[in-house]
Structure 1
Amino acid sequence: MHNALSSAAPFPVTTVSRLGGGTLTLGKPETADWQLILVYRGLHCPICRGYMEDLEPRLSEFAEIGIEVVIVSADPVEKAEKLRADHAPTVPIGFDLSIAQMKMLGLYVSAPRTPQETDRPYAEPGLFLVNPEGHLHMVDISNAPFLRPELDKLPARIKFVLDNDHPIRGTYDG
């Protein structure tokens, strides 16, 4: 069963292994006030690899508006290392996201279709923007690799939110 996070709620701070050593804390930025967390399906996903390549030239735009960007997947260290070797992302990479962590973040979880695809359940795409107070400011969760925010427009859209002190949306509980 899918369990979506509530916008404006405290983001469930989550610690994962970090490529290169140590840990990466989702929901606690290290280099900026805001953190953009991109969950990708794994090395097996060609759409994810393309998305990561599209992300790289936009990192300076995110940095200019005070957004730290991190990526994370359920891949083991070997696959995270191959992603870095083949596609050279410069963002911090988290790996070994557990099923319990995926569910806590409200992500959809899929089983591999074949052993050649991957060897473990993995998260479908997710995007979380965590504000300086540690609350979930914006969220986009998909149950398929084909539905994701357009990276070419995302920095400008987030900048609009920041520049205009745009409130967190989706909080009506009726």
Structure 2
Amino acid sequence: MYTQKIHPGANFPDIKATLSSGEQVLLNTTRDGCDWKVVVVYRGKHCPICTKYLNQLESFKQQFLDEGVDLIAVSGDSKSQLDAHLEELNISFPVAYGLTQQDMQTLGLFISEPRSEQETDHNFAEPALFVINSENKVQIAEIANAPFIRPDIELLLNGLKFIRDPDNNYPIRGQLSY
């Protein structure tokens, strides 16, 4: 089976998800005076590696905001799964639920079936991370097929500082692959 990937330089699609408060948000909408966005797709409450990664991301949150980069995490979990997960997370950036399988396919994510009912009750996306620039273009895309592959947060942050510095005139990379 082949999947259609979202390519660097493409417009990030208008995908909605829901915060635990019930507020629907567009994943590509920035807030707090930011003009770029990092969208972290995580597997769901069932994944301890995701919990660890999201908690690590929190420790860099202010540095991202200082750089003008907003954060959001999203999964295909239900509201009850997100609410239970929020009890395990020590984060203050928005986390949304309700990413549909169609949304996952639109983003070109790898999708897995649960191994058992104890894992989760729905198909779920494997981890991905997208950096969306001020023109709503995908600046960076990292799409994994297993929970063990995640971008190093400090390296990502330093890279974004470099990219966002106008003196570096750094283009979107990887656009010749399609």
Alignment TM-score, normalising by the size of structure 2:
0.94
- Amino acid corresponding to residue 73 of structure 2 in structure 1: I
Matching residue's letter, 1:25: L
* Partner residue in 1 for 2:154: 152
Specify every segment of 5 or more residues in structure 2 that has no aligned partner in the other structure, as ranges.
none
Q: 5+ unaligned residues in a row in structure 1: which ranges?
A: none
The residue number in structure 2 matching 1:48 is: 50
Tell me the residue number matched to 2:98: 96
RMSD (Å), alpha carbons:
1.2
Mapped to 2, the partners of 1:13 and 1:88 lie a distance apart of 28
Local SS of the residue matching 1:41: coil
Distance in 1 between the 2:82 and 2:172 partners? 33
How far residue 165 of structure 1 moved from its aligned partner, in angstroms, is 3.1
Match of 2:10 in 1: 9
Alignment of 1:167 onto 2:171: yes
Structure 2 SS opposite 1:44: coil
- Partner residue in 2 for 1:139: 141
Q: How many residues align?
A: 174
Instruction: Name the aligned partner's letter for residue 4 of structure 1.
Output: K
On the 8 A contact 2:51/2:88 being kept in 1, the answer is no
Give the match's secondary structure for 1:144: coil
Q: SS where residue 64 of structure 2 aligns?
A: helix
Mapping of 1:68-83 within 5 angstroms? 68-83=70-85
Divergent runs of 4+, >6 A: none
Using structure 1 for the length normalisation, give the TM-score.
Answer: 0.96
* CA shift digits 1:113-169 (9 cap, x unpaired): 011000000000000000111111111000000011011322111111111231000
